[in-house]
Structure 1
Amino acid sequence: MVNTRAKTKRIRNTLQLRISKSKGSMADHQPTMSATLVASNDDLITQILRRLPVTSILQFKSVSKHWRSLLSHRRFTLLYDRLPVTPGLFLRNIYVPFDEENRSTPPFRSLDFCLDLCGIRIVQSCNGLLLCCSDRGHMRARKYYVFNPTTKQFAIVPSVPGGMDVRKTIRFMGLAFHQTDCPHYKVICIHRAKPDEDLFQIQIYSSETGKWKISDQTFSAPYYTSFTAGVYWNQAIYWAPSCINPSYFKLDVEQLQKLPLPMQVTSSGGYQEGAIPHYFGECRGHLHLVERHDHDENRLNLNVYEMKSDHSGWFVKYQVELDELPLAYPEMMHSYLHPSNPYYYEFQVLDVVRGEEKEEETFMVVGIPGKVIRFNLKDKSFKQIFDLTNIIYGRFGHSEVHRYIQTLSSF
């Protein structure tokens, strides 16, 4: 990643120099053409400021009312957020920066943006916004929040209509947000239509209307159906394909659609009832699914699949070999007692991050016992970026890993 500190300093000094020249010239009633241009041309100021890191943008909002209005305008935020910056991820509310050499400041020390006696935890990350909820207590009493960790703005999501009978049967709460195709965030709730029945109902909350809406779409599913790893992509909510009939929910038409699986996975029987992939998520407009391509626990060969833009199927985007990792980190090797299967590898794919500007910058974030590793998918280089020793014990599930994306979007 590019070191932005020197870049920020240069741009900031340029701005301060030009603005001071402008003020001095106007005081002398002899403004120069260049100073006047910088001081009065919003387009030029926008082009300069959009190159600054988000922390500087937030600081420059205090320069004047005009700058605050300019930097808060949707035109600027769309321009700034066009190329998302993903400096790290959260593991159980712990911030893990992707760049060990240029560590970014944690967006928060604790989730205390709102007083909740049960504490607050992250449920889902979606294009810079976090869906959070009460950390403890029964499902029927939990409160839900939408939080922008970059700007510190938050909103309380109204309770799902229907009273306790509905709230105690909630199976999924997910967030849909995108700066262009879904600028007003939506919260999707799946719950039983009636207690003790296998008929499910979908309700949608819109920040634009401030109201919940009951979708006409209902569906039947076994009680053990898992709605895990909800991901928003291409105007739809997807769930990790962990059941026999995987599906996704198209928000524009409010319909459930069948989610195709990679051919190799379906033909080999890799997705059996209750199985989940190593990773399922979205990055910079691409939906990814990661699985072992031979389904052998003793091998470290992975396929990174990408969904076609028309939802028709998957193709292999990357083939990854992690065979060098156990040599560098032997703690990820564990022994079986059975002689025919002497050992297995303990690791988790936490994230797949596409390059900000170049394909060569694409990397995979891998969790092994006590450590987080960054693995480049092109040159196969890797390095430790975080030490989890004495911080997190045991494995962490898909629902505990959330990417941090910087966004200036407001709601």
Structure 2
Amino acid sequence: MVRTRAQTKKMLHASISRFNDDLFTEILLRLPAASILRFKSVSKHWRLLLSQKHFTQRYDQISKSPTGLIATDIYVPFDVENPSTPPFRCLDSYFDCPGVKIVQSCNGLLLCSIWTKGHNGACKYYVFNPTTKQLALIPPVPRDRSAICFMGLAFHQTDCVRYKAICVLSVGPDVDSYQIQVYSSDTKEWKISIESFSASLPIIRHVVYWNGAVYWASFYDNRNYWYFKIDDQQLHTLPLPLGLIPSKVVTKYLGESRGHLHLIAYKKFQGGMLRLKVYEMLSDHSGWFVKYQLQLNAISKYGPRYALQVMDVVRGEEEEEDTFLVLKTLDKIVTYNVRDRSFKHIYTTLTRYCRSSFYRYTETLSSF
């Protein structure tokens, strides 16, 4: 078949266009999400190209470091010399009523709650992408919502591309009897996963998604760390690190970074906050090993030791070289570099006892 000059020219133009799009895509994959969103307004072709799932999934699958911490109306960038743009000024402006609280941050998405006032007041839960400003209401759990012990979010760009909400509810007359229900953004429905199980769950403080499961630990009762495997719909307990006695342990942090689950815990009444051990969970859940041993005596220059809190453990691309902890004293937030043991002051709160809860912010273009 002999092609005409017009056909040849058309095929050549298409090939050049595909080449330009491929080159353009490779460049954009390395830019901040804020730039991607601005480029969508350049032309219809760019908007179509940047909105395709193929592009957004590739963008999100590239390992990205969190840029800072967010609260309902505060953004704290980790890099104070080159601060990133705040994702929003006030979270309340994106919801139908004020009083928004962040419950959990999960790979770029936020699980938020709002307590509605009135005779039939109840707690509503939302999933919010602060990068794209997309918002979705999670339908009410088909039970008495006052029985909710905690709500957790599961989302990951590769192993859980559609978010799921995991709800633990108290059931029946037995105060230690609970049920687990799972909501899927695919089906838009709640389903009972575990009809009933017994546990002591007074107040849940740490909730994190890692490796296909949602993990949590209690605020006062540290006898057990629990995790719920989403695909298998099974509930398990995690072992404590060796040397820690269940009735005499203080849990300060449970979180995930770059595919690793971390725990910071120590024995009660031993002043463990200045000599921290950061534990890492083995991939088969069989136990913990000590990943980092840290000396934090110099933190006293930023505030009293008794007020020290661990807000985040952020693993770097180059392992220890870029790994740091985010710490809070009464009115200051500082980072601690694991490699060179240096502190950096990144934020001062307006009041000595700041009541805002801060959560990790990571850019994502994922839609739901």
Give the TM-score normalised by structure 1.
Answer: 0.79
- After superposition, the Cα gap between the structure-2 partners of 1:401 and 1:195, relative to the gap in structure 1 and judged at 3 Å, is farther
Specify the code of the residue in structure 2 equivalent to 1:251.
I
Within 5 Å, give how 1:345-384 maps onto structure 2.
Answer: 345-384=306-345
Is the contact made by 1:226 and 1:243 (CA closer than 8 Å) also made in structure 2? no
Match of 1:150 among 131, 143, 160: 131
Specify the code of the residue in structure 1 equivalent to 2:314.
V
Runs of 4+ deviating beyond 4 Å: 33-36, 135-140, 292-295
Is the contact made by 1:293 and 1:303 (CA closer than 8 Å) also made in structure 2? no
Paired with 2:254 and 2:43, the residues of 1 have a C-alpha distance of 43
- In angstroms, what is the RMSD of aligned CA positions? 2.7
**SS, match of residue 263 in structure 2:** strand
Match of 1:227 among 183, 186, 204: 204
Paired with 1:179 and 1:172, the residues of 2 have a C-alpha distance of 24
- After superposition, the Cα gap between the structure-2 partners of 1:385 and 1:176, relative to the gap in structure 1 and judged at 3 Å, is same
Displacement of 1:113: 4.8
Is the contact made by 1:374 and 1:385 (CA closer than 8 Å) also made in structure 2? yes
| Aligned position for 2:348 | 387
**SS, match of residue 283 in structure 2:** coil
**SS, match of residue 284 in structure 2:** coil
Within 5 Å, give how 1:245-264 maps onto structure 2.
Answer: 245-264=224-243
| Aligned position for 2:4 | none
Paired with 1:197 and 1:253, the residues of 2 have a C-alpha distance of 26
Within 5 Å, give how 1:138-217 maps onto structure 2.
Answer: 141-162=122-143, 166-194=144-172, 197-217=175-195
Paired with 2:72 and 2:37, the residues of 1 have a C-alpha distance of 26
Name whichever of 242-251 and 169-178 sits farther off: 242-251
Match of 1:332 among 297, 301, 304: 304
Match of 1:240 among 205, 217, 239: 217
Is the contact made by 1:118 and 1:135 (CA closer than 8 Å) also made in structure 2? no
| Aligned position for 1:48 | 27
| Aligned position for 1:306 | 280
Displacement of 1:38: 6.4
Deviations 1:260-279 (CA, angstroms, capped at 9, x unpaired): 111132xxx2x427x64121
Is the contact made by 2:167 and 2:180 (CA closer than 8 Å) also made in structure 1? yes
Specify the code of the residue in structure 2 equivalent to 1:219.
F
**SS, match of residue 243 in structure 1:** coil
Is the contact made by 1:235 and 1:250 (CA closer than 8 Å) also made in structure 2? yes
**SS, match of residue 36 in structure 2:** helix
Is the contact made by 1:279 and 1:290 (CA closer than 8 Å) also made in structure 2? yes
1:287 aligns with 2:261: yes
- After superposition, the Cα gap between the structure-2 partners of 1:169 and 1:294, relative to the gap in structure 1 and judged at 3 Å, is closer
**SS, match of residue 124 in structure 1:** strand
| Aligned position for 1:65 | 44
**SS, match of residue 68 in structure 1:** helix
**SS, match of residue 47 in structure 2:** helix
**SS, match of residue 91 in structure 2:** coil
Name the one with the larger strand percent. Answer: 2
- After superposition, the Cα gap between the structure-2 partners of 1:395 and 1:109, relative to the gap in structure 1 and judged at 3 Å, is closer
Paired with 1:301 and 1:91, the residues of 2 have a C-alpha distance of 28
Is the contact made by 1:93 and 1:121 (CA closer than 8 Å) also made in structure 2? no
Displacement of 1:383: 1.2
Specify the code of the residue in structure 2 equivalent to 1:130.
L
| Aligned position for 2:3 | none
Paired with 1:34 and 1:49, the residues of 2 have a C-alpha distance of 22
| Aligned position for 2:5 | none
Specify the code of the residue in structure 1 equivalent to 2:168.
I
Structure 1, unpaired ranges of 5+: 1-29, 334-344
- After superposition, the Cα gap between the structure-2 partners of 1:40 and 1:321, relative to the gap in structure 1 and judged at 3 Å, is same
Is the contact made by 2:115 and 2:121 (CA closer than 8 Å) also made in structure 1? no
Identity over aligned pairs, percent: 53
| Aligned position for 2:6 | none
Give the TM-score normalised by structure 2.
Answer: 0.88
1:120 aligns with 2:97: no
**SS, match of residue 92 in structure 2:** coil
Deviations 1:91-142 (CA, angstroms, capped at 9, x unpaired): 4542111111111111011113544334211111000000001056599611
Specify the code of the residue in structure 2 equivalent to 1:146.
V
Specify the code of the residue in structure 2 equivalent to 1:101.
E
Is the contact made by 1:124 and 1:131 (CA closer than 8 Å) also made in structure 2? yes
Is the contact made by 2:91 and 2:100 (CA closer than 8 Å) also made in structure 1? yes
Paired with 1:276 and 1:67, the residues of 2 have a C-alpha distance of 52
Structure 2, unpaired ranges of 5+: 1-8
Paired with 1:159 and 1:294, the residues of 2 have a C-alpha distance of 39
Paired with 2:308 and 2:88, the residues of 1 have a C-alpha distance of 27
